[in-house]
Amino acid sequence: MSFAAILRIALGALRVNKLRSALTMLGIIIGVAAVIVMIAVGNGAQARVEDQIRSLGSNIIIVFSASATFTGARSGAGTLQTISEDDAYAIARELPDEIQTAAPVLRGTGQVVVGNANWSTTFYGVTPEYFEAREWTIAEGRGFEPAEMNGAAKVALIGQTVAQNLFGDENPIDQAIRIRKVPLTVIGILERKGQSMSGQDQDDLVLMPISTARKRILGATALAKSRSVGSMTIKVRQGVDIKVAEENMRELLRQRHRLQPGQDDDFNVRNLSEILQAQEESSRVLAMLLAAVASVSLVVGGIGIMNIMLVSVTERTREIGLRMAVGARGRDILTQFLVEAVTLSLIGGLVGILLGIGAAKLIGGLAEWRIELSVTAILLAAGFAAVIGIFFGFYPARKAARLSPIEALRYE
């Protein structure tokens, strides 16, 4: 018997019991949809972590000044200025094989004023190395020129949040802003970075030359009287073990600060890559766990197919005997029931794909979660559904193929 004839007979048998066929497919439909939704949610979480890694810059180490102690109470990191611009330049100079760049950073807060509008934000005094370390590009305008860095020029770059709150739809390039009564000309707008791992808006900031921050904005403070800075952003070269680079950098800073063996560091080091890699790994494990849990639904659906196919074999025993009596071979019967099981699985898989895509988009819209639909996951779910049909349909099909024609014809 040709395969086309077997397929026609199998589809005809499924059409006879439409409701039962639909209920049988329900397990596969739910299973495939669940797999697609769960993988989409897991991939979305992983993609968000990857975006945050890119927004912070890859292979980043941040060095903070030590904390100060007043009357027994310790303040936060950076309150005691123990690192300097020279430390950053020494790190880049002394560890060229491990450190790609080192950027000293001065930080302050204040109101940014434009006409009658104002906005409270954070400003940073930086060097050109900061943009390389953070992998931050300029969306509009230009960066700082060497003469502006050396001359403490009154220029600034602003983040997208500051631009939106102060200028709205107006172009801020070449407009004047005031920070602590010091006028600065906006020469550029930074690319959008989004939220950090802690939920902080990275676009809510103003960048200016470090000399401008020190001499003009922070000129009345003790910080302006030295080359000390609050932190340094260090970018480790690709392929270099970040832990080794961190230890070598720590040893160099201890030598420069003349710290004796056993004496505590007068600076704090944070390795962001380890934190981000841990979160990325957690997201990956979560995605795999969600997919595994959803796959259980497919197995349950396969068991449902096996049950229904066994019932079908029992109900059609006389039909099987009659077909064998007129010349059908065992493999024809086996193929027919396998085709029925696989057809149920494939139709259920296709419906499940459509339902899963729709459900994933609906969840993403209602819950405001990031959803990443994967073509590979969709094809994998459909293929798994077909395998489920073959695996769980084989036993009933084999049972049908092994029936004795005489006993089948006598079956009541």
pLDDT digits (tens, 9 = 90+) for 276-291: 666 667 666 766 776 6
Of 265, 298, 321, the one marking the end of a domain is 265
Quick one: 114 and 26 in the same domain?
Answer: no
Whole-number Å distance between alpha carbons of 163 and 189: 8
For residue 74, tell me if it sits in a domain.
no
CA proximity to 79, closest of 213, 220, 223: 223
Total-model pTM: 0.60
Quick one: 96 and 198 in the same domain?
Answer: yes
For residue 346, tell me if it sits in a domain.
yes
For residue 283, tell me if it sits in a domain.
yes
For residue 239, tell me if it sits in a domain.
yes
For residue 66, tell me if it sits in a domain.
no
For residue 302, tell me if it sits in a domain.
yes
pLDDT at 80 over 70: no
Quick one: 320 and 375 in the same domain?
Answer: yes
Q: What's the N-to-C CA distance of the chain in angstroms?
A: 27
| Alpha-carbon distances of 406 from 184, 253, 320, rounded to whole Å | 99, 92, 10
Domain range enclosing 181: 81-265
Quick one: 283 and 342 in the same domain?
Answer: yes
Quick one: 111 and 225 in the same domain?
Answer: yes
Residue 187, pLDDT score: 96
Of 205, 230, 265, the one marking the end of a domain is 265
Whole-number Å distance between alpha carbons of 294 and 349: 14
Give the chain's domain count.
Answer: 2
Quick one: 36 and 173 in the same domain?
Answer: no
Residue 1, pLDDT score: 54
Quick one: 284 and 357 in the same domain?
Answer: yes
Q: What does the pLDDT look like over 4-48, one tens digit per residue?
A: 766 676 677 667 777 777 877 887 888 888 888 878 887 777 777
Q: Which amino acid is at 278?
A: A
Quick one: 187 and 214 in the same domain?
Answer: yes
For residue 67, tell me if it sits in a domain.
no
Quick one: 283 and 305 in the same domain?
Answer: yes
Quick one: 147 and 112 in the same domain?
Answer: yes
Burial of 259 (0-12, 13-18, 19+ CB in 10 A): middle
Q: What does the pLDDT look like over 228-272, one tens digit per residue?
A: 888 999 998 988 888 899 899 999 999 999 988 888 888 898 876
Quick one: 120 and 179 in the same domain?
Answer: yes
Of 243, 265, 287, the one marking the end of a domain is 265
Buried-exposed string 377-387: b where 16+ CB fall within 10 A, e elsewhere:
bbebbbebbbe
- Greatest CA separation found in the chain? 106
Quick one: 256 and 140 in the same domain?
Answer: yes
For residue 272, tell me if it sits in a domain.
no
Give strand pairing partners of 119: 112
Q: Which residue has the higher pLDDT, 36 or 71?
A: 36
- Could you tell me the pLDDT band of residue 294, with boundaries at 50, 70 and 90? low
